[in-house]
Structure 1
Amino acid sequence: MHSDKSSWLIKGLALAGICFLYFPILIILIYAFNTEESAFSFPPKGFTVEWFFKAAERDDIFQAIGFSLQIAAISTLIALLLGSLAALALYRNNFPGKNVFTLILILPIALPGIVTGLSLLSTFKSAGITPGMATITIGHATFCVVIVYNNVVARLRRISFNIVEASYDLGATALQTFWHVILPNLGASLFAGGLLAFALSFDELIVTIFTAGHEPTLPLWLLNQLSRPRDVPITNVVALLVMLLTMLPVLLSYWLTKDR
């Protein structure tokens, strides 16, 4: 028997959960327009866009953004290549140790970032590799690969293998079948997985702390600025812009992969 009380209870809990998740973002939005130079003066005494103009004059902000964009782009390309190839290799092929290999492949996304960061740092030090752009990119690619792999596998499960067999029956080679049949069906999943991987790499902090060199990414720049009280209003502006930028690819990825 349906109960209106239980329905309202579920709706209330859902609304409370949404408020809990998004209330900090609302606070950052308010502080970004606060007229006070004090970092966390509440309630705000007025609203201004002055901090946005000051942020636009800071070269270090654009350098950090550019560095993060480069890392995210390279990590995403690596993830698209390795993640899609791994998904195609593991989906229909059965071999001894397949489950173990699959577990090892998806493990980086389940491990705490500090564990992944420490492991990578130890590996790089043992190999004599100097932390820098390459080490950050490798660190980000470890979990970006999983994102692409999961998206591609999910799509492969919804593709009928009959179209592949039909392609072979019509005389197409394996390469032609992949290019004209499989790849078009994977296009949206690859694009969505790439967008998610890019967003995760762009704002990754924990792994970056252990693998970064002297040039900071944007999340590291934000973390360093919190120790400078006079720069906190500008930091709030940058944090707001980062949230908006990372939100767009996630929303676009959701729209591409949702069932219509």
Structure 2
Amino acid sequence: MHSDRHASPLLKLLAWCGLGLLHLPLLVIALYAFNTESAAFSFPLQGFTLQWFAAAARRPDILDAVWLSLQVAAAATLLALLLGTLAALAMWRHRFFGKEAFSMLLVLPIALPGIITGLALLASFQRLGIEPGMLTLIVSHATFCVVIVFNNVLARFRRTSLSLIEASLDLGANGWQTFRYVVLPNLATAMLAGGLLAFALSFDEIIVTTFTAGHEKTLPIWLLGQLTRPRDVPITNVVALAVMLATVLPILGAYYLTKDTDTVAGSGK
């Protein structure tokens, strides 16, 4: 049942208060990244400066952590795009024994607490004799990134008209040509949105990464280590702001790519 009545002023106020409570800590971090004072969270702000950004850019440990996080997120996203799209195609086009159980198992890594997923992955890698490192990071991140891509692509598949595929086959196109020229263009925005969300999720992942990184130090792990170094708080604020932007921008991009496609079958670019 749908209601066209406007929300009451009290409900609007409570909604804005809730949003403020969620985002105020992020705003504080963003503001103190530009503070001229090096002391931790001195109030009021002493002035505006970009010196901490320059200092962070000269730190090789930060640059190495950023580069590692980008590599892991990119590789995990590519793997998730491949596996998530194929899984969505199988769930959409085929009926087989255990289909619902298979769907539940796909969603399980992101539904479980991160510490459970991390422990399970670490135990699996140890049983297989694989040392924690770059490979284990990529595989562990891909396990929960697959869910994001799978959900986006499956939702688009369910809005794709089968008559388009049937028409393509009736006109003489083979299976690959139908996929290349009919199905894939309809999936483009869903795959891109899923990839952006998966990249953002992988880039700032900390719990699973802690168990599977070994001696590798991604940017979130670097930030966690900075909690015991109060002298580096201004630079830590700068890096935290960069992580927030690297996470928020892909999410906004995914939102704008898919916000007008909920009522259009296929609706790809």
Cα-Cα RMSD: 1.6
Give the superposition deviation at 1:2. 8.8
Distance 1:151 1:41 in 2: 44
Counterpart of 1:219? 220
Counterpart of 1:202? 203
Give the superposition deviation at 1:3. 7.8
Counterpart of 1:61? 62
Give the superposition deviation at 1:35. 2.3
Amino acid corresponding to residue 145 of structure 2 in structure 1: C
Counterpart of 1:106? 107
Q: Does 1:52 align with 2:80?
A: no
Distance 1:9 1:118 in 2: 45
Deviations 1:196-242 (A, max 9, x none): 10111011100000000212000001111121111111000111111
Distance 1:9 1:86 in 2: 45
Give the superposition deviation at 1:41. 2.2
| Distance of aligned partners of 1:82 and 1:45 in 2 relative to their CA distance in 1, 3 Å threshold | same
Query: Deviation above 3 Å: which 4+ runs of structure 1?
Result: 1-4
Give the superposition deviation at 1:183. 0.5
Give the superposition deviation at 1:43. 2.7
Distance 1:148 1:3 in 2: 36
Counterpart of 1:139? 140
Distance 2:34 2:166 in 1: 60
Distance 1:65 1:38 in 2: 25
Counterpart of 2:78? 77
> Unpaired runs of 5+ in structure 2?
262-269
Look up the SS of the partner of 2:91 in the other structure.
helix
Distance 1:205 1:184 in 2: 34
Amino acid corresponding to residue 147 of structure 1 in structure 2: I
Distance 2:48 2:177 in 1: 59
Distance 2:130 2:4 in 1: 63
| Distance of aligned partners of 1:3 and 1:188 in 2 relative to their CA distance in 1, 3 Å threshold | closer
* Deviating more after overlay: 106-115 vs 74-83: 106-115
Give the superposition deviation at 1:247. 1.3
Give the superposition deviation at 1:107. 1.0
Distance 1:218 1:59 in 2: 12
| Distance of aligned partners of 1:235 and 1:169 in 2 relative to their CA distance in 1, 3 Å threshold | same
TM-score by length of 2: 0.92
Give the superposition deviation at 1:20. 1.1
Give the superposition deviation at 1:39. 1.7
Amino acid corresponding to residue 175 of structure 1 in structure 2: W
Amino acid corresponding to residue 233 of structure 1 in structure 2: P
Look up the SS of the partner of 2:228 in the other structure.
coil
Distance 1:202 1:45 in 2: 32
| Distance of aligned partners of 1:2 and 1:34 in 2 relative to their CA distance in 1, 3 Å threshold | same
Counterpart of 2:42? 41
Paired residues, what number?
Answer: 259
Give the superposition deviation at 1:149. 0.3
Q: Does 1:246 align with 2:264?
A: no
Look up the SS of the partner of 2:132 in the other structure.
coil
* Deviating more after overlay: 199-208 vs 52-61: 52-61
Give the superposition deviation at 1:163. 0.5
> Unpaired runs of 5+ in structure 1?
none
Amino acid corresponding to residue 208 of structure 1 in structure 2: T
Distance 1:176 1:40 in 2: 59
Give the superposition deviation at 1:91. 1.1
Q: Does 1:151 align with 2:152?
A: yes
Deviations 1:172-203 (A, max 9, x none): 11111111110010011011100110111011
Counterpart of 1:123? 124
Amino acid corresponding to residue 25 of structure 1 in structure 2: L
Give the superposition deviation at 1:93. 1.4
Distance 2:4 2:166 in 1: 48
